[in-house]
Amino acid sequence: MNNYLRYSLYICIFGVFGILLFSALVNLYINKDRIIYTLKGTTAEGRERGSSYTADSEQVELAKKIVNGGYILYFRHAHREKWIDVAMYDAMEATNLLKAEDLYFKDAVCLSSMGIIQAQMMGEFIKDIGLPIGKIITSPSCRSRQTSEIAFGDLGDLKQLLLHPGPYNENLDEFAQSIKNEILSLKFENNTNAIISAHNGVIKANVFDEIEKDFEFDLEEGGFYVIKNDNGRLILVDKFHNFQFFQQVFYPRPN
């Protein structure tokens, strides 16, 4: 084999290897959350994500209190496709007050087919459990609006502030304070819960005056934080990492 053919073969081999490596890295990035969750499976937070999870006594008690109303339930929207540059599409939709479900980039910002089913199932359980819902506020993003309409039966009030901070150039401490003020301004009757339908990245520790339980600030799609307003002090009580962990409390195994 002459040198020209040898070098051409090397180039082809390295080219194929490079493409495979690039594809593998892209796949790792897209599935990074799932991989991290799997690797963390020996921790309490990791076990929480498993299908065999059973709520502890504190969460059972809290879930039953929630059905009596008086809490602010901050939901992460239901499932969407994972687009790494989703903030760009969110900025286009929210800034221009568009309805992305009618536009070419709907797959980037709206619920996936899985998410639509997930939100519908959440709504079925909400009705069956009898979860009392009062005031609803919603991020303007397609996936949050769809979650409110499908799961909670009402879009509520759209709040530009509830879009996650990714699309914008802003001071995150000021953003957190604005989120705190917005949540504290919610008015609801004691026998209902206020609902917020928004995004994972909106809620951080600096939003709260007190955090009652130590956990990661991370929700699966459909999960929610349980918040209460204690005379102007914003308290994070707990979270249900996904909706299944809340629903489970009310369904003992049939005989």
Q: What is the largest CA-CA distance in the chain?
A: 84
Q: Is residue 175 predicted with pLDDT exceeding 90? A: yes
pTM of the model: 0.80
Across the range 178-190, mean pLDDT stands at 91
Residues 120, 171 share a domain = yes
- Asked if the structure places residue 36 within a domain, the reply is no
Please tell me the distance from the alpha carbon of residue 177 to that of residue 113, in angstroms, as a whole number: 35
Question: How many domains are there within the chain?
Answer: 2
CA distances from 41 to 36, 223, 238, 241, 248 (A): 9, 18, 20, 15, 20
Residues 213, 154 share a domain = yes
What residue numbers bound the domain in which 13 lies?
3-30
- Asked if the structure places residue 180 within a domain, the reply is yes
What are the pLDDT digits (tens) for 40-49?
443 344 444 5
Residues 164, 74 share a domain = yes
Residues 7, 76 share a domain = no
Question: Which CATH number is 70's domain given?
Answer: 3.40.50.1240
